[in-house]
Amino acid sequence: MRDYTIFIPEYIAAGSAVGIIGIELFWPKFRKDWLAYITAVAALGWFVAGLFFIGKDPNSFQGLIRSDDFTTYFRLLAAGIVIVVALMSATHMRTRTKTVAEYYGLLLVAGCGMVYMAAATELLTAYIALELLSFSLYILVGYLKRDNLSSEASLKYILLGAFSSAMFLYGMSLIYGVTGTTYYEGIAEGLAARGPGTDPAVIVGMMLILAGVGFKVSAAPFHMWAPDAYQGAPLPITAFLSTASKAAGFALILRLFTGALIVDAAEWRWAVAALAAVTMTLGNLVAIQQSNLKRLVAYSSIGQVGYMLITIAAIGYGDAKVGQDASSALLLHIAGYVIATLALFAALTAAYNRTGREDIAGLRGLAETQPFLALVITIALFSFAGLPPFAGFATKLFMFQGATTDELLWVVGLAVLNSFISLYYYLMIVRQMYLFDPIGDVGRWKVSPVLWCLAAVLMVGVLFIGVYPGPVFELTERAAQPLFDAAGLGGVQVQRP
């Protein structure tokens, strides 16, 4: 079946990307912040186009791409992230580089990459989509090219990215060798058809794939690039990295692991659980020692990845019902996490635009000079820590609850312990903002209206999900549904003992 309509939203995005690059190419004096707004509008169009796909019947494009609620969910998420990041960048990027059109164009392209990572049901497509996202990010991270840190971050990112995608590919090749196909459905059937016992090729292949996607979502020990890349990247890109890139990684993992590898879940679930445990512990412990905000957020998001990985392990341990519940909860958590992160970065960007400092002490006395930003930052951080009435509380609770199986209770316990540790370093930030007086000029200053509104809207979102998670949860449940109704498996798991 070739239904090209399913690509319409991305046509809009990619087309706009080209258009934006074209504008600056032919009209170099065009105001840079307007480019941002154009990007936001384009992404809004993309978002709106995505809305039409809600609830439509699943549609597969030649077995490569599936257009279903899962895809739509990530499409909306991607578009939303791009809107926010573009708006965030408007003032931030205006003075820092000569040209910004490519920046916004790549943002849109990266978003498309994310959507196809979620939509891909075939290894090659998934790989290319992943590289599309990665390539865009390599460039975006190094976009401040006169900045030493930015280019260093970019170099580390691309070399490690290439290294780990080689691993990823080797794993794919082994799976291909075993099953003779690269379609997820075919892989599942192929694995199921191989009878009892598991080949070493399958095990090692899965481990290599795990390393590849683990790198993408920055799971320890494949996380090392993240702090450096986060620190070197421009602030809005850091936001993008910690939201879109992670969400995309999980989208791919969900598709791949539920659609293809679920059959031999016994061979990878322990590894995912172990990775989850290591990741969250490492991320949170190291985060305590950070003084740079971006690095701190990087480690904190590594910790978050640890929590999210538990659900993947739960998919491996539980039956289809557990898997679906866990995935819905994971999607909900991703939504909450993304919104909170974006709120945090919107506020941080506003503060950074004013102070130019990205260490924690730079926020000193923010509650005096800009109480609204301090409030948004606090809310975002408390949401990460899982305190009510913010999104993190409800979503984390649902996610862990969804992931609780007899085998995984210890990881869940560890996760809760970790989110407690995380509270410590979040409080360190809150402390700077609220407990100390600002240095130097103590007058109030104004936030640019765009960032203000952005932060306000996101903050409301954080509160809404936290207080009334029902509607979003229902949506994410629908989004997770197709993973388990996928054709071929008919919702029944062919899992080996």
Which span sits near another protein by CB under 8 A: 82-90, 217-225, 237-245, 249-257? 217-225
Which of 3, 41, 52, 177 lies at the binding interface for another protein (CB under 8 A)? Answer: 177
Which region, judged by CB under 8 A, interacts with another protein, from 26-34, 208-216, 358-366, 449-457? 208-216
What residues numbered 59-78 form the site for another protein, per CB under 8 A?
61-62, 64-65
Distance, CA of 88 to CA of 73 (rounded, Å): 22
- Please report whether residue 400 would count as binding another protein according to CB under 8 A: yes
| Closer to another protein by Cβ: residue 417 or 439 | 417
* Piece of 31-39, 40-48, 51-59, 155-163 that binds another protein (CB under 8 A): 155-163
Question: Does the protein bind another protein through residue 36 (CB under 8 A)?
Answer: no
204 binds another protein (CB under 8 A): yes
With binding defined as CB under 8 A, does residue 149 bind another protein? Answer: yes
The token pair at 235 is 């602030």
Give the range of 31-39, 52-60, 68-76, 98-106 binding another protein by CB under 8 A: 98-106
The reply on whether position 277 binds another protein by CB under 8 A is no
Per rule CB under 8 A, is residue 457 in the interface with another protein?
no
Q: Smaller CB distance to another protein: residue 6 or 350?
A: 6
Position among 69, 185, 228, 358 found at the interface with another protein (CB under 8 A): 228
Per CB under 8 A, the segment of 39-47, 50-58, 219-227, 235-243 that binds another protein is: 219-227
What is the three-state SS of the chain?
CCCHHHHHHHHHHHHHHHHHHHHHHHCCCCCHHHHHHHHHHHHHHHHHHHHCCCCCCCEEECCCEEECHHHHHHHHHHHHHHHHHHHHHHHHCCCCCCCCHHHHHHHHHHHHHHHHHHHECEHHHHHHHHHHHHHHHHHHHCCCCCCHHHHHHHHHHHHHHHHHHHHHHHHHHHHHHHHCCCEHHHHHHHHHHCCCCCCHHHHHHHHHHHHHHHHHHCCCCCCCHHHHHHHHCCHHHHHHHHHHHHHHHHHHHHHHHHHCHHHHHHHHHHHHHHHHHHHHHHHHHHHHCCCEHHHHHHHHHHHHHHHHHHHHHHHHHCCHHHHHHHHHHHHHHHHHHHHHHHHHHHHHHHHHHHHCCCEHHHHCCHHHHCHHHHHHHHHHHHHHHCCCCCHHHHHHHHHHHHHCCCCCHHHHHHHHHHHHHHHHHHHHHHHHHHHCCCCCCCCCCCCCHHHHHHHHHHHHHHHHHHHCCHHHHHHHHHHHHHHHHCCCCCCCCCCCC
C-beta closer to another protein: residue 345 or 390: 390
Site for another protein in 308-367 (CB under 8 A): 324-325, 328-329
Single out the residue of 50, 80, 111, 142 in contact with another protein (rule: CB under 8 A). 142
- Write out the binding residues for another protein, residues 178-197 only, by CB under 8 A: 178, 180-182
Could you say whether residue 423 binds another protein (CB under 8 A)?
yes
Judged by CB under 8 A, the residue of 156, 354, 357, 496 near another protein is 156
Question: Interface with another protein by CB under 8 A: which range of 39-47, 49-57, 87-95, 393-401?
Answer: 393-401
Decide if residue 14 touches another protein (CB under 8 A).
yes
Smallest separation (angstroms) from another protein to the CB of 286: 5
Should residue 307 be labelled a site residue for another protein when binding is judged by CB under 8 A? no
Residue 15 near another protein by CB under 8 A: no
Residue 116 contacts another protein per CB under 8 A? yes
Q: Does 397 bind another protein (CB under 8 A)?
A: yes
